[in-house]
Structure 1
């Protein structure tokens, strides 16, 4: 592997945002007269973008899909208000993330964010966390016509950074990250501490326990 740049998923990889996502989801449910869901239940609904998260939390069911119904639109509007009002109340970096990003930046490795989180949340979240300027490319869930597991977001990063696929390492925590990487032809690494379950079985090239292990992939 000759890695020249890194692409990172956001939620479950760089930051633990479940408490704030669950708070906003349950506040939206309360607005609609529904009881709260357990935080771990909401965690199981994360990873496919805001529309899927809202559809799942509204129904309390991972199998629920976004159909743009009036009720789903209302739930999305309420979630939007609550989440924007508290993007970083409890959201925290995972251990070693800030130090590792700083090291990669100092070594002049281009860094990218590739997340399914909508841009209206991604950009202010990165600003509030003080790391937006660390990244040369930021691809949110609605930046392009398709999101992960499509290869399009990673292909966009490759084009922007003028890299061949084998030179970009995708670091994430879910099957979507692995599928996107495989489709784009890039190597992939999963963190074992994130929101994904059974990460050893997801087909990534490597699984790491600590974020600082990312540094082992530099040339």
Structure 2
């Protein structure tokens, strides 16, 4: 895929799960602890992975029903959600780690003086705590979770809010993510969308549909820096 014109980038926004870090093992452990608590058998890790991306409230519905579109009654959901959040908060980074080149990519971008933000559908408190535990929090000027604003991705609202806080035009911000929600939010906000090929989403599949086709595909975060600094990269 041709790299778009990105010489005017003034900020970079990142999704969290499946983009900055691989968190499926801990999410699956929390999901199956919750299922056990509710008298249900465990789910395979890859099944839980397919349910990630639309916030923890939706994840709990999906985990209880073993269906992407499943819904349970409010009382049962509240009981399970309370347990899930407590368990997950206590086991945020048992297995979760940044992807191999995450910190290198963030360091390179930070060296350019470009503000970096996290826009995730994970609850803000959990996202901030996870970034702290992974020693990544200091790279970011702003962390927005799925409960920070009235709407979450694929709504453009979190991206528009981030751009407003940073005092830049949405067109001057990149949105980097692994899912349809990230690309849809970027397109709706007027940001350039960058899809990572190593996350949970199937970028090959998403790229086949105009609505979810990212402007740019990358296999590692340092590629962003290399394309923002083409002359520098060539010199080196």
- Normalising by structure 2, we get a TM-score of 0.89
Distance in 2 between residues matched to 1:163 and 1:54, nearest whole Å:
36
Say whether 1:28 aligns with 2:44.
Answer: no
The offset of 1:209, in angstroms, is 1.6
Q: Residue 35 of structure 1: SS of its match in structure 2?
A: coil
Say whether 1:6 aligns with 2:12.
Answer: yes
Matches within 5 A, 1:20-59: 20-59=26-65
The offset of 1:182, in angstroms, is 0.7
RMSD: 1.2
Deviations 1:179-216 (A, max 9, x none): 10111001000001101022433311011122221213
Deviates more, 1:30-39 or 1:101-110: 101-110
The offset of 1:79, in angstroms, is 0.5
* Pairs aligned (count): 218
The offset of 1:68, in angstroms, is 6.0
- Normalising by structure 1, we get a TM-score of 0.96
Distance in 1 between residues matched to 2:17 and 2:73, nearest whole Å:
24
Deviations 1:145-190 (A, max 9, x none): 1000111000011101111122100000001001101110010000
Q: Residue 51 of structure 2: SS of its match in structure 1?
A: coil
Distance in 2 between residues matched to 1:79 and 1:114, nearest whole Å:
22
Q: Residue 57 of structure 2: SS of its match in structure 1?
A: helix
Say whether 1:149 aligns with 2:154.
Answer: yes
Structure 2's unaligned 5+ residue stretches are 1-5, 230-236
Structure 1's unaligned 5+ residue stretches are none
Q: Residue 7 of structure 1: SS of its match in structure 2?
A: strand
Q: 2:213 pairs with 187, 197, 203, which one? A: 203
* Preserved contact between residue 54 and residue 72 of structure 1 (Cα < 8 Å): yes
Following superposition, which runs of at least 4 residues in structure 1 exceed 6 angstroms of deviation?
A: none
Distance in 2 between residues matched to 1:217 and 1:117, nearest whole Å:
29
Distance in 1 between residues matched to 2:206 and 2:21, nearest whole Å:
17
Matches within 5 A, 1:1-219: 1=6, 2-65=8-71, 69-197=74-202, 198-201=205-208, 202-218=212-228
The offset of 1:59, in angstroms, is 0.6
Q: Residue 171 of structure 1: SS of its match in structure 2?
A: strand
Larger radius of gyration, structure 1 or 2?
2
Q: Residue 29 of structure 1: SS of its match in structure 2?
A: helix
Counterparts in 2 of 1:217 and 1:165: CA distance versus 1, 3 Å: farther
